């Protein structure tokens, strides 16, 4: 096991290197070099000034040269200064990670709490009205473009009924502190979380249902039933535990989603999270930020797969790595 993990980490480093090369190439190809964007529309900028600014931002170097210097700095832990924010990339990420992680974390928790019981109920009553209803609602959720759903929610709850804030993270006029501030934040997070959960729960729910169906038709469940165990025990003790195995691995694979941020939901609800910042960075060609952030996500993706593989072994003792 230990050896397996070490080997996987070694491979991950290679993959990261490959990803960083590709990413840098892509970043340099991003439409809109930062200097051009900054000076666009300004009638008084001379070509000379532009040239000088390119030098200041290191945009005059070739792709290969630029990559090598980026890599050298990155290995020393220096991911550079964000062009837009004029601050170090790490501190920009640290600054905006809060809302993103709490939003994604709460939503993920709710998704799991909803998907597992509902999926099990649907599976137990396959082809019944309950099953159809649960599946239909779950699938409607994942069949909606998130921006569409968010816009409708905003229209109904924030503008129409006025019960929830339209957007933003805190009530501007009030200077809440402590618990009141926390509640205020919570109120602003309700709609975004609904969007997340409704558009996200379907996938997990369906997965739970399928796995449960499979488990329910397995021989050991039949045996358990045959020996006269009460249904509650059959489900709770035998079926449920075995359903958990694939679910756990799927959840492990969701780790990077915690950090990658949701460009659209964050944007529509005016939350200052990583997704929103990343989109700005793409549009404006903020290469240091894009590199730093995307490498972070790549790392998280690799960690996610590794964790889910290890979890698999933990919950399923039959799995052995060699």
Contact pick of 1, 5, 11, 109 for other proteins (by CB under 8 A): 11
The nearer residue to other proteins, 84 or 235, going by C-beta atoms, is 84
Contact pick of 13, 94, 151, 156 for other proteins (by CB under 8 A): 151
With a CB cutoff of 8 Å and minimum separation 6, the contacts of 169 are: 99, 185, 188, 270, 271, 272
Q: What SS3 class is residue 104?
A: helix
Considering only residues 168-207, where is the footprint of other proteins by CB under 8 A?
168-175, 184-185, 187-188, 202, 206
Helix boundaries (H) for 2-88: 2-29, 34-39, 47-56, 63-75
Considering only residues 223-262, where is the footprint of other proteins by CB under 8 A?
none
Tell me the closest approach of the beta carbon of residue 141 to other proteins, in angstroms: 10
| DSSP state, residue 63 | H
The count of residues interacting with other proteins (CB under 8 A) is: 108
> Applying CB under 8 A, does 22 fall inside the site for other proteins?
yes
- CA dihedral 206→141→293→102, nearest 10 degrees, is -90
Contact pick of 79, 115, 120, 146 for other proteins (by CB under 8 A): 146
CA gap 49, 34 in Å, rounded: 14
> Applying CB under 8 A, does 148 fall inside the site for other proteins?
yes
CA gap 153, 161 in Å, rounded: 10
Nearest to 249 by CA among 211, 220, 221: 211
Tell me the closest approach of the beta carbon of residue 321 to other proteins, in angstroms: 14
- Overall size of the chain counted in residues: 322
> Applying CB under 8 A, does 322 fall inside the site for other proteins?
no
Contact string (CB under 8 A) for other proteins, positions 288-317, x = contact: --x---x--xx--xx--x------------
């Amino acid at each position: 096991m230990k050896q397996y993990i070490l080997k996987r980490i070694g491979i991950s480093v290679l993959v990261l290197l490959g990803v960083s090369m590709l990413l840098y190439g892509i970043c340099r190809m991003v439409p809109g070099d930062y200097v051009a964007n900054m000076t666009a529309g300004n009638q008084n900028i001379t070509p000379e000034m532009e040239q000088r600014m390119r030098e200041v931002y290191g945009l005059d170097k070739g792709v290969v040269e630029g990559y090598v210097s980026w890599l050298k700095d990155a290995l020393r832990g220096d991911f550079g200064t964000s062009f837009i924010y004029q601050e170090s990339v790490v501190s920009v990420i640290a600054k905006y990670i809060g809302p993103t992680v709490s939003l994604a974390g709460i939503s993920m928790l709710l998704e799991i709490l909803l998907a597992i019981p509902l999926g099990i109920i649907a599976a137990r009553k396959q082809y019944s009205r309950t099953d159809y209803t649960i599946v239909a609602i779950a699938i409607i959720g994942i069949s909606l473009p998130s921006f569409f759903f968010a816009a409708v929610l905003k229209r109904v709850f924030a503008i129409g009924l006025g019960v929830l804030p339209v957007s933003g993270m805190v009530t501007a006029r009030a200077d809440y502190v402590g618990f009141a501030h926390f509640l205020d934040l919570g109120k602003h997070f309700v709609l975004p979380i609904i969007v997340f959960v409704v558009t996200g729960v379907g996938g997990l729910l369906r997965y739970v249902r399928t796995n449960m169906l499979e488990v329910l038709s397995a021989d050991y469940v039949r045996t358990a039933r045959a020996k006269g165990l009460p249904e509650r025990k059959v489900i709770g003790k035998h079926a449920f535990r075995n359903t958990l195995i694939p679910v756990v691995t799927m959840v492990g694979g969701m780790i990077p989603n915690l950090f990658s941020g949701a460009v659209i939901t964050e944007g529509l609800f005016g939350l200052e999270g990583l997704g929103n910042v990343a989109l700005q960075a793409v549009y404006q060609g903020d290469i240091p930020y894009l590199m730093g952030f995307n490498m972070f996500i790549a790392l998280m993706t690799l960690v996610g797969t590794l964790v889910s593989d290890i979890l698999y072994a933990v919950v399923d003792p039959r799995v052995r790595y060699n």
